[in-house]
Amino acid sequence: MHTLPKELTGRAFTAAEALRGGVPRERLRRKDIVALGAGVYAVQVLIAQRTPRETLQLKAAALLRERPDAWLSHSSAAQIHGLWLPDRLLTDHRLYLSHAPEPGLWTRRQGVCGHRVALRPQDVTTRGSLRLSTPGRTWLDVAPLCNERELIILGDQLVRPPYQRFEGRREPHAALEELAALLDRSRGVPGRRRCLVALTWVRVGADSIQETLLRLALIRAGLPEPELQVPAQPGYRWSPRADLGYPAPKIAIQYEGDTHFTPQQQRADQRRDNIFLAEGWRVLRFNSEDSREGFQRAVAQVRAALGLE
């Protein structure tokens, strides 16, 4: 059996790299080699315990070594940034790469979707050695593939303050002002108009997709737009907060995802709700059952709590 060069065992590699390293093409068909698509391969032990996101990074890095002027973009960049995507984009396994307008080969490589883009340095960043579109530019890139509601979900995710303990970063992916500036300098880019509409509904403070969807359901039903991250005790730094709410009539709204149904979290939520109740708030709690029915019952209950029936 032909032994692979050491430099090919610790990373994904293209067929061209293997040939340059003296590896015959038939060696790539052995059982210890996995084809990742788009002419990229890796030794099986390297990717055996990798997540899809990590495998995507390996695959992209191999292709970008052959085209150093290119960068990962669109839904591929969104996955690396850890952004939410609709299922239809997650199941699109093509690799999206952008490069300068000069002629290139990506559009003729199977499994790769290439885009010619006028490079703006502020729209490209790095994660490790991987070049990719910034989160904000990625939002604009996927706009032609998304509807306005999906772009609002993504926008909310971009401007959300992160939890450093869990996410390893202090700052949001982008500020509202940064997204507005991006769109201002991107006239003529496909999807820009859709992003402009979505941006008018993007808000800071939605900690989950479902919180965004609940807010949009309330607005769509003609109810006043709720505030986000509403404190039970305004002015007190350590006050518990409601995901959404109406401070004047003291209505607190919580969306309880699956993590809220562990015994430990239920105890914490009970203590949180008791503070709201002690301060004279009415607390409404919703969950995935409400989401599955499009928050119709939730809307009716909030309407009743607001006295708008």
Q: Where do the domains of the chain lie?
A: 6-47, 67-199, 209-305
Distance CA 292, CA 86 (A): 16
78: Cβ contacts below 8 Å, ≥ 6 apart: 85, 89, 135, 138, 142, 154
Is residue 195 within 8 Å of residue 144, measured between CB atoms? no
Say what the pTM is: 0.91
pLDDT tens per residue, range 50-94: 999 999 999 999 999 988 889 999 999 999 999 999 999 999 888
Residue 103: pLDDT band with limits 50, 70, 90: low
Question: pLDDT tens digits for 16-53?
Answer: 999 998 998 888 999 999 999 888 999 999 998 899 99
Q: Any idea which fold 209-305 has?
A: Endonuclease; Chain A (3.40.960)
DSSP-derived pairing of the beta strands 112-116 and 124-127: unpaired
pLDDT, greater one: 119 or 200 = 200
Helices and strands, number each (H, E), in the chain: 15, 12
Distance CA 86, CA 83 (A): 10
Q: Report the SS3 class of residue 227.
A: strand
Cβ neighbours for 104, distance < 8 A, ≥ 6 positions apart: 67, 70, 114, 116
Contact indicator for 190, 144 with CB cutoff of 8 Å: yes
55, 58, 63, 66: CA torsion to nearest 10: -170
- Alpha carbons 142 and 77: distance in angstroms, whole number: 10
Residue-level pLDDT at 119 = 75
| pLDDT for the residue 104 | 53
Binning pLDDT at 50, 70 and 90, where does residue 309 land? Answer: confident
